[in-house]
Structure 1
Amino acid sequence: MSAFVGIDTSVPGQPGTDTQFPTGLMSAAKNLGLLRVLTAIAFADDNNPAYSDYANDQMQMLTNRNSMSPTYLNEMEHIGSNFQRALGTGFPKDLPLLLFAVAENKQNPEWLELHRRQAASVTDGTVVPIPGEHYLHHTHAGELADGMRAWEVGRG
């Protein structure tokens, strides 16, 4: 059986997709080492008890390594046109859909409702609100796994 499971996914028509990102400046910041300095400051201020010191060190290392990659910068450069092309598209009606979404998005109060509409567009669509921020898989992996298992059991 096939299904789509999304973790705080983008939604066609979501606000903010017309933003122009300064990709040249972003690339220069990484190449000059400024991104590494900003990452160090951000991680020093982030005293999240959900992570061990080792995990924080690993995340900082991976952030420095992966941030502003050519693929990421390309995505940012084309975000507006990609979202424009996605307007009017959707999932196949018969594809089961499980969406984990941030329960409260202060920048976009309609965030959860956008996901609920997307789930309602298919025959078998479910939205599971999770309190937290965009990277739910970093802090709520157990809840995501439990939610997937419960969804799968409930369907079958």
Structure 2
Amino acid sequence: MTHTKDKHQQPYSRLRRILLILLKVIMIIALAIVLFIGIVYTVNRVSSHSEMQKLESYGQLVSVAGKQMNVLVEGEGEETIVILPGFGTASPALDFKPLLSRLKSDYKVIVIEPFGYGLSDQTDKERSTANISSEIHEAVQSLGADRYILMAHSISGLYSLDYVNRYPDEVEAFIGLDHSVPSLSEQKVETSDIVPVKWFRNLGFARLQLKLGDNPYEELPYDEKTQEQLNILIRKNMYNDTQLNEAVSMYSNFQTAKALTFPADLPVLFFVQKNHPVVHEWVSEHEKQIVNSKQGEIVLLEADHYLYRSHSMEIAEKIKDFMESRM
């Protein structure tokens, strides 16, 4: 009888041992994951603190809507150019440096760092086009600029479409740097979609993501010091709350912009990448924006979306020619 009982217990004992082994494996994996997250979180906190000690200020702070917005002003030209950044640009003032260095000999150049960008404060205010336009205008006005050329990269082209219609007596011309057009809308982002992104950021995985990615400024005309500061600000501002709120508002901003066009008598100059890697209608939709413009021109460049980084000389020379032809 004892022998029979042992035979029945053997499969059960083996199953129990297997389950215990599996449980131990699961616990080890779980502990390894927790340890990995802890290391990533700690490294991010320590590194962020260290980097803030190395961060150097630039530009000047102006009061906008009760907060501080950073702007950079360079050049002594008679005409003024106001530059607006694309979505997520960590430091507009430093990112536009190659183009800025080409423009400042002929123009006074103002680079705006909207809330959530560069050294500017963050804000809880809705990132609607109307609010963003109003904030930019307040910053420009605080600098005493009353007539200027508006230049915008990427999503700021959408905000500029509102801006030039809102403040027509101030904007002399518009220059688009591979700017967004209303007909090519971004996908809708819900508030719930950004919750996991905040966890990803808060736990320090954004830093790890950047570490595993390529250096966007490699082999471009940025000195080592500028690259160091840019990389610090990328890690500082990546996925911050203000920019995530802007992402949530982006779809509705595109829809609102569909009712707007550039004024027919406003000179407009577009620099557009010739071969968009995804959107085949990229050039044709930009062409539609100037159909009714009395002074409209498109320059196609063999470049990526950040064409001002690699083609600053061509862009600066064309801007000068275009503006002089208006006189």
TM-score greater than 0.5 by the shorter chain: yes
Q: 1:63 is matched with which residue: 234, 238, 244?
A: 234
Q: Structure 1 residues 61, 43: closer, same or farther in 2, change over 3 A? A: farther
Query: How far is 1:118 from its partner?
Result: 0.7
Q: Structure 1 residues 19, 132: closer, same or farther in 2, change over 3 A? A: farther
Q: Structure 1 residues 139, 61: closer, same or farther in 2, change over 3 A? A: farther
CA contact (8 A) 2:217 2:227 kept: no
**1:92 maps to what in 2?**
263
Unmatched tracts of structure 1, length 5 or more: none
TM-score (normalised: structure 2)? 0.43
- 20-29 or 32-41, which deviates more: 20-29
TM-score (normalised: structure 1)? 0.85
Q: Match for 2:301: what amino acid?
A: I
Deviations 1:3-29 (A, max 9, x none): 1111111101115x2343632222222
**1:6 maps to what in 2?**
176
Name which one, 1 or 2, has greater alpha-carbon Rg.
Answer: 2
Matched, 1:20 2:189: yes
Deviations 1:89-111 (A, max 9, x none): 11111111111111110210111
Query: How far is 1:52 from its partner?
Result: 5.0
- The structure whose residues are more often strand, as a share, is 2
Query: How far is 1:145 from its partner?
Result: 1.0
User: Which one scores higher on RCO, CA 8 angstroms, separation ≥ 6?
Assistant: 1
Give percent identity, aligned residues only.
Answer: 29
1:73-92 alignment runs, 5 A limit:
73-92=244-263
**2:67 maps to what in 1?**
none
Unmatched tracts of structure 2, length 5 or more: 1-146, 148-171
3-state DSSP class of the match of 1:81?
helix
Counterpart-to-counterpart distance in 1, 2:235 and 2:211: 9
Query: How far is 1:36 from its partner?
Result: 0.9
